[in-house]
């Protein structure tokens, strides 16, 4: 009974206070305290609201930043894939054009041509076909109607080509212009030039003339382009004159070369 009585007193006190506040509010005696409370609590409420909004904005920014980063990564991956596919298509197109162009210059019914991709260039040009494809040492390598070089080493999956510019390369050659021919031997030099030697003084050769293969080596057809004359060198006391010759193409630009198989 003693425990129930204090609780009842508290209950009555609360009812009394509530009734008192109700009466005071009815006769507008609480307006000033209420304004004071609002004056104190409004800035606090605004601060809490503003803080919550800033925190929400920060979380939204972090979410958007992570989403944008993921989207950017996905786009970069797609762009990389598209660029790779485009490069592959361009490569295949260039190879197809090389095949079509090659057939216009050397008749496939006359020559057995095996296409090969250049895969390395040092002293020798390395191609991606070897003995597994039937390539043999000594076979000629061409591009359109240009002589590129000769196979000098073969492995199952690749071969090395000795270029016209190699110091060990010697090819019987002739030049042709309106005044006549000039015959000689094309000798490789280190660099991009080759030297046409053993040209008789009375034979006709001039700057700008094309130089062709004689075809005396057996492996090399007659009439393939070896290069263009850039300078003719003559000396009165010498039996022969010489000419500097440069290839008419850059070996680094070739997508395909062709091996003339036996």
Q: Which of 56, 72, 105 is the last residue of a domain?
A: 105
The answer on 119 and 101 residing in a single domain is no
Average pLDDT over residues 236-243: 88
Angle at 120 between CA 117 and CA 124, to 5 degrees: 105
- What is the per-residue pLDDT across 217-232, written as a single tens digit (0 to 9) for each? 888 999 999 999 999 9
Q: Where are the beta strands (DSSP E) in the chain?
A: 112-116, 118-121, 125-127, 140-143, 146-154, 159-163, 170-177, 180-188, 194-200, 210-213, 225-233, 240-246, 257-261
- What is the per-residue pLDDT across 119-128, written as a single tens digit (0 to 9) for each? 999 999 999 9
R_g of the chain computed on alpha carbons: 45
The answer on 132 and 24 residing in a single domain is no
The answer on 240 and 136 residing in a single domain is yes
The answer on 210 and 136 residing in a single domain is yes
Asked if the model's pLDDT at residue 1 lies above 50, the reply is no
β-partners of residue 171 are 186
Helices (H) and strands (E) in the chain, counts: 2, 13
What distance in Å separates the CA atoms of residue 182 and residue 199, rounded to the nearest whole number?
Answer: 6
> Phi and psi (nearest 5°) for 95?
-65, -40
Q: Which of 105, 140, 156 is the last residue of a domain?
A: 105
The answer on 164 and 254 residing in a single domain is yes
The answer on 135 and 96 residing in a single domain is no
pLDDT at residue 161 in the model: 97
The answer on 157 and 254 residing in a single domain is yes
What burial letters (b/e) apply to 132-154, b meaning 16+ CB within 10 Å? ebebeeebbbbbbebbbbbbbeb
The answer on 255 and 136 residing in a single domain is yes
The answer on 146 and 99 residing in a single domain is no
The answer on 233 and 125 residing in a single domain is yes
The answer to whether 95 and 87 have CB atoms below 8 angstroms apart is no
Q: Which of 75, 105, 135 is the last residue of a domain?
A: 105
- What is the per-residue pLDDT across 93-150, written as a single tens digit (0 to 9) for each? 655 665 556 666 676 668 889 999 999 999 999 999 999 999 999 999 999 899 999 9
DSSP 133: G
Please state, rounded to an integer, the average pLDDT across all residues of the chain: 82
Angle at 157 between CA 152 and CA 163, to 5 degrees: 30
What pTM value is reported for the model? 0.62
The answer on 165 and 232 residing in a single domain is yes
User: What is the percent of the chain with per-residue pLDDT over 70, rounded to a whole number?
Assistant: 68
pLDDT at residue 23 in the model: 72
Provide the domain count of the chain: 2
The answer on 127 and 64 residing in a single domain is no
- What is the per-residue pLDDT across 169-220, written as a single tens digit (0 to 9) for each? 999 999 989 999 999 999 998 777 899 999 999 999 999 999 999 999 888 9
Closest-CA residue to 152 (of 138, 171, 165): 138
- Please give the residue range of the domain that contains residue 11: 1-105
């Amino acid at each position: 009974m003693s425990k129930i009585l204090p609780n009842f007193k508290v209950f009555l006190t609360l009812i009394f206070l509530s009734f008192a506040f109700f009466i005071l509010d009815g006769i507008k005696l609480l307006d000033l305290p209420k304004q004071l409370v609002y004056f104190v609590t409004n800035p606090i409420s605004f601060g809490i609201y503003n803080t919550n909004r800033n925190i929400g904005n920060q979380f939204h920014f972090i979410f958007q930043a992570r989403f944008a980063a993921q989207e950017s990564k996905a786009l970069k991956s797609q762009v990389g894939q598209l660029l790779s596919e485009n490069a592959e298509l361009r490569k295949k197109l260039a190879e197809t054009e090389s095949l079509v162009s090659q057939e216009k210059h050397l008749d496939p019914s006359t020559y057995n041509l095996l296409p090969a991709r250049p895969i390395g260039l040092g002293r020798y040009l390395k191609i991606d076909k070897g003995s597994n494809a039937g390539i043999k040492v000594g076979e000629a390598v061409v591009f359109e109607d240009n002589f590129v070089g000769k196979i000098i080493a073969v492995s199952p999956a690749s071969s090395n080509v000795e270029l016209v510019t190699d110091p060990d390369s010697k090819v019987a050659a002739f030049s042709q212009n309106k005044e006549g021919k000039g015959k000689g031997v094309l000798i490789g030099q280190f660099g991009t030039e080759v030297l046409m030697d053993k040209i008789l003084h009375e034979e006709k050769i001039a700057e700008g003339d094309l130089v062709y293969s004689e075809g005396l080596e057996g492996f090399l057809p007659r009439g393939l382009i070896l290069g263009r004359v850039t300078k003719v060198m003559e000396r009165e006391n010498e039996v022969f004159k010489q000419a500097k010759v440069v290839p008419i193409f850059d070996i680094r630009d070739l997508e395909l070369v062709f091996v003339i198989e036996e």
